[in-house]
Structure 1
Amino acid sequence: MMLYRSYGVTLALVGAFALSACNPSTVQVPEHQAAPHIDVRIMETTDLHAYMLGFDYFRQTPTTQYGLAHTAALIHEARAQNPNNILIDNGDLIQGSAMGDWAAEQGVAYLENAVHPIMKALNYLQFDAANLGNHEFNYGLDFMFATLAGAEFPYVSANVFYAESEETAGKYAGAWGEPLVPPYVILERDFVDQYGAQHRIHVGVIGFVPPQIMRWDAQHLTGKVRVRDMVSAAEHFIPQMRAEGADIVIAVPHSGLRTYPEYPKFAEQASYQLAGVEGIDAILFGHQHQLFPGSPSYDNLPDVDNERGFVRGVPAVSPGYWGDHLGIIDLRLEQTDDGWQIIDSQVLVRAIDHRKDPHLERLLQSEQEATLTMLNEPLGQLEHRVSSLFGRVMPESALQLINDAQTWYVKQLQAEGSIPADLPVLSAAAPFRNGSQGPHDYTLIEAGEFTLGNLVDLYVYPNTLQVVSMSGAQVREWLEMSANAFTQIDPERSEPQELLARFPSFNFDVISGITYRIDPTQPRRYTNGGELINPESHRVVDLKWQGEAIRPDQQFLIATNNYRAGGGGNFPGLDGSTLVYASDAEVRRVIADYARTQTSEADGRLRVVTVKNWELMIPSEVSLRFRGSPSTAAQQIVQNTDGLTTIGLDEQGYALYELRAPQHTK
């Protein structure tokens, strides 16, 4: 079960709101009465990832765990509690769910005559403004702009610009050329004070996107877009917003919370640093799929109050992902001789429940039906179960299928002369669904009919396939970075030790076509940021191709995705400079084409044979612990794997496992 909690206390609504129906001109403020004040409610959604409905596309069943239809019930409730409100979305909106995939498949031509279904939903809920997230760029600029054209509210982003534009002399003078969308917007709203009188309040909203979009979506953005550092953009534009009359300024960074010994410009996580920029009154952040206040990830950060929701004294909120929470910041503004001043603020995140908005569901009914039709297109019959249940501790069939498909595609490119035909082909894939978002967040596709919907389960992101050329030495460093997935094990310690480190599963690349072993008793060679910290340490050993030790100068072609090839994950040697082929084919499409080809040659059957090409080196007498899927399928794997046992369940519903040497399938 997902843990839902609420933090903070909502500002008490002044009884005088009942007077809001009065004619403001007839409202008399008694002499010697307190100065007028206004309670303003700011609401945030973030990282919705196209989950508009409470629907699990992996299992094709309704769910109360996420979905904007459930968040909508909280939005309606929060608005009823305070009519002085602003609703903002913080990006990563149009990519993620199968409905987002369906809309992207329709292309720009579809959007010339229709509104993107996600925009239909936000228009219905009357959002006031929205910020660009990094995933808005996944389908290219044409699709993004065609999508935004359907929005009945403004989009902002202060640090992304057209590459070819010159310094401007107009409204955004001094900026780095022409912005893709306005850097900020100043909303004019008539809000009601405690006496029932209306006041025109100017609410400034400024957005920011991770500069890393230039690597993650290089195939769409190179030569077309350039970015600024988020903090530098804030320092430039916020004084301008104040000069234009903004009474309050809301910063909306699609960025997480992280501290640094010294802030590196163009950092991905910059919300903490933005809180230090003068003139910001509230921060709505996201990107990390965490709750603030509340997530343990934000405990013990300096000047961060993870109970009340303040970052360096600034009220801030981050409401999770997929619409599982609504973020709220309540501000009390008091009228002074110097204008409206914030005299109090409180923060909370509200968890969704069984309630939902049926009108929103009806609004997207036709798109939902089309999405399910797309998902249920059969690709063949899968002979055996495909899963990622133990993908971070042993070879797994889900990664094997991805790597088989990518290898097949690259060998086709070799056959047609698009890339060198004389180099060995390897392939890299990661277990995207490996428990990061709950105990059932694992790829699990049972034997039987294999459909396009299964590809959503297998490969979460709309990455495109790319090919890089790497030396044997570079391949080893790639794997060394992947080996950060494991903690350092003490071979002399008899007490149980945690095996898995805090390392995203989508960065645990398994490379097929070679064999190797990982020794977790050695110190990690790199930090998660890609900094070499232990030059003498090597966790990756016995690295071989076709049974022979790989030479440092030996050359390989490696199939991977655009995120990794462009530098995503900070892997050494992967910064775009080793790219030899950039395909516009999504990896999911490559897998679908591979499945169709294989089934056509095998009487409709799709067979996946898991190659045991890598293993963990586990010292004898050492007990390693990790948590994983509690599914029946996982227990069947346990029964057939020597050294792997189930020891219970934790409070979040994950199964707890023990791993000992030897690790060999019975």
Structure 2
Amino acid sequence: MHRPGFSTLLAAFAFCVRTETADSQATATRGAVELTVAATTDQHGRLRGWDYYLGAPDARHSLARVATIVDSLRVAEPGRVVLVDAGDLLQGNPLTYVAARMEPNAAHPVIAAMNAMGYDAAAIGNHEFNYGIPALKAAIAQAKFPFLAANVYRADGTRAYPASRMFKRAGVTVAIVGATTPGSAVWDRDKVQGKLQFRDIVTEVRAAVKDVRARGADVVIVTVHSGLNEPASYDTVATRLPSENVSVRLAREVDGIDLINYGHSHRQMADTTIGTTMLMQAKNWAENVAVAHLRLERAGSRWRVTSRRGELISTVGRAESPAVLTATQRAHEATVAYVTEEIGNTPVAWRADSARVMDVALTDFILEVQRRTANAQLASTAAFSLDASLDAGPITVAEVARLYPYENTLKAIRISGKQLKEYLEFSARYFGTFGTSDEAVNQKVPGYNFDIVSGATYTLDVSMPVGSRVTHLQVANRPVAPSDTFSLALNNYRQSGGGGYAMLAGAPVVYDGTVEIRQLLIDEVRRRGTIKPDDYYSSNWNLVPGEAIGPALAGMRANPFERATSTTPPAPRGRRIRILATNDFHGALEPRTDSRGVIRGGAVALAASIERASRDCLAECALVLLDGGDMYQGTLPSNLAYGRPVVELYNILGYTAAALGNHEFDWGIDTLKARMRDARYPILGANVRFADGTDVPWIPNDTLIERNGIRIGIIGLASTLTPRTTRAANVKGLRFDAPAPIVADLARKLRTRGAEAVLVVAHDGAFCDRTGVASCEGEIVTFMGELDEKVDAVVSGHTHSLIAARVKGIPVVQARSSGSALGVIDLQVGGEATITVQDVIPDSLARQPRVDSLVRSAVAAVSAFVDEKVAMIAEPMPRNGEQYALGNLIADAQRRVGRADAAVVNNGGIRTGLKAGSATYGELYEIQPFANTLHRLTVRGRDLRTYIERLLDRGEPNYHFAGIAIAYDPARSSGQRLRSLSQTSGKPIDPAKNYTIVMNDFVATGGDGLELARKASRKEVLEVNDLDALIGYLRALPQPVRPPAVDRVVVRP
């Protein structure tokens, strides 16, 4: 900890140090040197710890605090620090507005601050063009560092800005290459059209990297104003512009890059490596600094990077650099004078204390300014603070700004009548159901997620259930039809689907403003001089029944999310880990219809759900995406490509880790190793050992990651049942040990290595009550009960069930299967956790273009097989319980193809039900996706009887049979439960006679642990698999196919 006054002395010393040349400060140790790269992005004018709108200190955002951190790094690593920025510097708050619009000839405060800090280079961000090319040119002329943009050219084809900068640091030749998003050609068309060309980032950076390498660069850093891999916010086909967010592509597709500092997306990433390229992103508004530590070793006359690691250093609690404060003091004073200016007046007081239960003028003021600015039919906003107000008398810039406490810009989108109703219904979740035991206000929904729409008239009836509350919805005195279309003005956060409003994400953008909505309100007051409620108020919505309004008013104040807009910053919410969890995806790239006819899941909808849940992970939140195993096996598009499409999907979605499921072994160890190499996330199995008990080197036990400054250990487990749930040959030489002692040991070691939280992802499950909260029983519960070392959360899999429970106080989640749900655990580090499981319903979610393209390609590759019609089915044959008609149908098919006396089918090989109507090859494949080869065994009747007895010892038989009938008494003791065993003709099985039995290879080779084959006098491998047997049988049956009777296994006391 610094002594009082030390940080100030340190900053002054470091500022003096920067005046010397880097090479005079340090020499590399013989053969090795470490460079430190500090990086910022998307500062948007947050130079000092002062909120100009609130007129109060800002403890979270300050480039002056970043400067103190950089100074400390330079003292610790003299001559070995590189400082870069990824753009969006010159626009974003009143300070930059004053600099650009009111004092364009003065020294630019952002450039002055960055000069004082000694930046080496900056990328040009799209917001650099907001005030026009001349303003950008003037700012660049003041900079002592280059602004880089390799992909921006003048209209005549010459380069508009430098592509790179090269220099020596600690004897190492460093090259910095810069680029920017092409989106400026859309967002600032009026300023750049006919003047600048924005070319493909990847192509231009590739050329620039090749150039600097040819000129002797030892280290190549790319600083790029482009997101990671998010979908473009503009139509790349219609605009003919290259992609917007390509940082992942740069890492994958461009050789020779050691480090990518990226920006634009206002997110953060400490340390992710793709191939040999590390990526990092600091949080916007100077909330932290991204720092990369690159170790280089000499290779002949050159240097090469041999290791890399990254971290995020928070600015909170840091002293501000005197050098930066001095450099920006005059601009700061000018901005304070601007925001405290009186810009108008009002003759009456305006209040927002009832804005969420009735229409009020203060909300309509915001809505009307938005609607008129965007020239839209409708407008929407939240009533952010119930304490917002304007007092009668003079109005200052800051007072208007307090009405809108967020940094949102204005957009307008084109929506349908269906989307409008969905939007309002989702907003109405804020209220409980009146007349029931619900609280008047849903305490889980923040007030800032309750939106109000102007331009439409409607009623919210909170006596109705969620989803059915919007009544009398009209626009222009006409009832709204689902197919109607409207333009809707709203803020950029909501336009992106923020707050869970997925029905809005992806809607076409018809207006894309760059001015913050707060500034629009200030401009409106300044223009009118005197504002009155009657100028804006129009009553267009109401809440019924009237008796609900009083309880709702009280409930709003009790809502834990409610906070007044105040002159002091909000208290920190504490450090939180958001765990997003899936399991048992089984290659389900396409949506599926459940037993109630509801379409669920699919890769596109799952991706959108993950993105939405990720957006709700705020600045204090560390995001982890985990999967509980059984990722690949289960559908034609995945299986025929041996799981490659699913690996690609998981890579796109950014999974952190996954458990090793039993079905990961289904295609053999070589294929599993190939998929593990393809995956950019570890697939963990800590309890998988060789037969002699030693570790399996290609199956990692755990991983230790850092997210948003929180170090998180993750341990993965395979099911101990794996040898009984995949072919025995596929796991030959492996054993699957009891997990509790292994996890306890690894958890202790992870905490020793610095883990602040330890998570377990396991392919073991349980079954709970229908809520998923109570009465849970199963392997995962047993494991957690045996665990004697603390872990913080568990992600479960294998049982395809709903779990949102606590075992010994530890949260555990399982999200059904096939991408039909998403588990969410919000874990306070060292504190409490909340657990939810969210349904994934495709109709309510925006499509993700990249994932959509992946799915379309995978499905198209197998469409010829999938769509082939096989048979007509008279009535549904669901997969319910232990004995069902579909199982008997499959057993009959196998007995027929094997021309055997009997057939035995394990229920685990039947994956889903069969619907009525036309049955296609693709649908039948999903019922039996494992391509198990059929075997025919010849066994004596006595051995068959013993085999059935052993099955019955396990409880209700989860097998189906053909050619034999079984009667048993479950109340009898083990080995005595079988009452009768006969052929379907009624003839008893003769203990001395030989019978032929058909089984799939999984069961025949001991997958069920019973190994009837050992007793066989003859074993034959049939030249047919289980799916082909079923298809041939269905085609041979009279059409439509009717379900066989379910009476082959009966209980008889």
After superposing the two structures, state which structure 1 stretch, 249-258 or 456-465, moved more.
456-465
1:447 is aligned to 2:391 = yes
Tell me the TM-score normalised to structure 2 length: 0.42
Residue pairs, 1:527-546, within 5 angstroms:
542-546=472-476
1:613 is aligned to 2:541 = yes
Helix, strand or coil: the match of 1:344?
A: strand
1:251 is aligned to 2:222 = yes
Task: Identify which of 270, 294, 312 aligns with 1:349.
Answer: 312
> For residues 431-470 of structure 1, what are the alpha-carbon distances to aligned partners after superposition, in whole Å with 9 as ceiling and x for unaligned?
5x96xxxxxx99945535422224444566696899x9x7
**Residue 364 of structure 1: CA displacement?**
1.8
Task: Identify which of 76, 93, 106 aligns with 2:89.
Answer: 93
**Residue 211 of structure 1: CA displacement?**
2.9
Helix, strand or coil: the match of 2:364?
A: helix
The answer (yes or no) to whether the contact 2:146–2:165 under 8 Å persists in 1 is no
Partner of 1:45: 40
Partner of 2:334: 370
Equivalent position amino acid for 2:84 in 1: I
> For residues 444-502 of structure 1, what are the alpha-carbon distances to aligned partners after superposition, in whole Å with 9 as ceiling and x for unaligned?
45535422224444566696899x9x7xx7566567578787999999x999989669x
Tell me the TM-score normalised to structure 1 length: 0.63
> For residues 325-344 of structure 1, what are the alpha-carbon distances to aligned partners after superposition, in whole Å with 9 as ceiling and x for unaligned?
11111111111126211112
User: CA 1:389–1:267 in structure 2 vs 1: closer, same or farther (change >3 Å)?
Assistant: farther
- Alpha-carbon distance in structure 1 between the residues aligned to 2:90 and 2:21: 38
After superposing the two structures, state which structure 1 stretch, 229-238 or 482-491, moved more.
482-491
**Residue 44 of structure 1: CA displacement?**
0.6
> For residues 350-378 of structure 1, what are the alpha-carbon distances to aligned partners after superposition, in whole Å with 9 as ceiling and x for unaligned?
11224111232222222111111111112
1:317 is aligned to 2:317 = no
Partner of 1:282: 259
Helix, strand or coil: the match of 1:356?
A: coil
Equivalent position amino acid for 1:343 in 2: T
Partner of 2:144: 152
The answer (yes or no) to whether the contact 2:370–2:410 under 8 Å persists in 1 is no
**Residue 223 of structure 1: CA displacement?**
4.0
- Alpha-carbon distance in structure 2 between the residues aligned to 1:247 and 1:394: 64
The answer (yes or no) to whether the contact 1:161–1:227 under 8 Å persists in 2 is yes
Structure 1: gaps spanning 5 or more residues: 1-16, 166-176, 192-198, 294-307, 411-418, 420-424, 435-440, 525-536, 634-648, 657-666
1:514 is aligned to 2:477 = no
User: CA 1:476–1:126 in structure 2 vs 1: closer, same or farther (change >3 Å)?
Assistant: same
**Residue 66 of structure 1: CA displacement?**
1.6
Equivalent position amino acid for 2:166 in 1: L
Partner of 1:426: 377
Partner of 1:161: 153
Helix, strand or coil: the match of 2:305?
A: strand
Partner of 2:794: none
**Residue 51 of structure 1: CA displacement?**
1.0
Equivalent position amino acid for 1:178 in 2: T
User: CA 1:367–1:608 in structure 2 vs 1: closer, same or farther (change >3 Å)?
Assistant: same
1:60 is aligned to 2:37 = no
> For residues 599-642 of structure 1, what are the alpha-carbon distances to aligned partners after superposition, in whole Å with 9 as ceiling and x for unaligned?
5376xx8987584537799xx9xx99986333389xxxxxxxxx
> For residues 515-538 of structure 1, what are the alpha-carbon distances to aligned partners after superposition, in whole Å with 9 as ceiling and x for unaligned?
246899x9x9xxxxxxxxxxxx99
**Residue 104 of structure 1: CA displacement?**
2.3
1 or 2, which has the higher helix percentage? 2
> For residues 256-306 of structure 1, what are the alpha-carbon distances to aligned partners after superposition, in whole Å with 9 as ceiling and x for unaligned?
33478xxx994443322222132110121233333323xxxxxxxxxxxxx
The answer (yes or no) to whether the contact 1:317–1:347 under 8 Å persists in 2 is yes
User: CA 1:99–1:242 in structure 2 vs 1: closer, same or farther (change >3 Å)?
Assistant: same
- Alpha-carbon distance in structure 2 between the residues aligned to 1:560 and 1:126: 40
Partner of 2:563: 630
The answer (yes or no) to whether the contact 2:424–2:470 under 8 Å persists in 1 is no
Partner of 1:131: 123
Equivalent position amino acid for 2:309 in 1: Q
Task: Identify which of 380, 386, 392 aligns with 2:345.
Answer: 380
The answer (yes or no) to whether the contact 2:65–2:320 under 8 Å persists in 1 is yes
Helix, strand or coil: the match of 2:67?
A: helix
Equivalent position amino acid for 1:600 in 2: T
User: CA 1:395–1:120 in structure 2 vs 1: closer, same or farther (change >3 Å)?
Assistant: farther
User: CA 1:48–1:556 in structure 2 vs 1: closer, same or farther (change >3 Å)?
Assistant: closer
1:80 is aligned to 2:45 = no
Task: Identify which of 93, 101, 104 aligns with 1:105.
Answer: 101
Helix, strand or coil: the match of 2:35?
A: strand
**Residue 216 of structure 1: CA displacement?**
2.7
**Residue 204 of structure 1: CA displacement?**
1.8
Equivalent position amino acid for 2:98 in 1: W
Partner of 1:210: 181
Partner of 2:815: none
> For residues 153-193 of structure 1, what are the alpha-carbon distances to aligned partners after superposition, in whole Å with 9 as ceiling and x for unaligned?
1011233333x33xxxxxxxxxxx334322x21321241xx
The answer (yes or no) to whether the contact 2:222–2:260 under 8 Å persists in 1 is yes
The answer (yes or no) to whether the contact 2:228–2:248 under 8 Å persists in 1 is yes
User: CA 1:446–1:21 in structure 2 vs 1: closer, same or farther (change >3 Å)?
Assistant: closer
Helix, strand or coil: the match of 1:47?
A: coil
**Residue 558 of structure 1: CA displacement?**
6.7
User: CA 1:597–1:35 in structure 2 vs 1: closer, same or farther (change >3 Å)?
Assistant: closer
After superposing the two structures, state which structure 1 stretch, 335-344 or 366-375, moved more.
335-344
- Alpha-carbon distance in structure 1 between the residues aligned to 2:562 and 2:246: 33
The answer (yes or no) to whether the contact 1:465–1:587 under 8 Å persists in 2 is no
Equivalent position amino acid for 1:631 in 2: A
Helix, strand or coil: the match of 2:142?
A: coil
Helix, strand or coil: the match of 2:42?
A: coil
Helix, strand or coil: the match of 1:48?
A: coil
1:117 is aligned to 2:109 = yes
- Alpha-carbon distance in structure 1 between the residues aligned to 2:430 and 2:56: 40
- Alpha-carbon distance in structure 2 between the residues aligned to 1:23 and 1:224: 40
1:181 is aligned to 2:181 = no
- Alpha-carbon distance in structure 1 between the residues aligned to 2:507 and 2:347: 36
Structure 2: gaps spanning 5 or more residues: 1-16, 549-554, 567-825, 835-1053
The answer (yes or no) to whether the contact 2:411–2:509 under 8 Å persists in 1 is no
Helix, strand or coil: the match of 1:241?
A: helix
The answer (yes or no) to whether the contact 1:215–1:567 under 8 Å persists in 2 is no
The answer (yes or no) to whether the contact 1:50–1:100 under 8 Å persists in 2 is yes
The answer (yes or no) to whether the contact 2:387–2:564 under 8 Å persists in 1 is no
**Residue 214 of structure 1: CA displacement?**
3.0
Identity %, equivalent residues: 25
The answer (yes or no) to whether the contact 2:379–2:455 under 8 Å persists in 1 is no
The answer (yes or no) to whether the contact 2:123–2:147 under 8 Å persists in 1 is yes
User: CA 1:587–1:223 in structure 2 vs 1: closer, same or farther (change >3 Å)?
Assistant: farther
- Alpha-carbon distance in structure 2 between the residues aligned to 1:442 and 1:290: 29
User: CA 1:312–1:343 in structure 2 vs 1: closer, same or farther (change >3 Å)?
Assistant: closer
Partner of 1:219: 190
Equivalent position amino acid for 2:564 in 1: S
1:270 is aligned to 2:246 = yes
Equivalent position amino acid for 2:167 in 1: E
- Alpha-carbon distance in structure 2 between the residues aligned to 1:335 and 1:156: 29
Partner of 1:591: 521
- Alpha-carbon distance in structure 1 between the residues aligned to 2:513 and 2:307: 53
**Residue 225 of structure 1: CA displacement?**
3.5
User: CA 1:550–1:241 in structure 2 vs 1: closer, same or farther (change >3 Å)?
Assistant: same
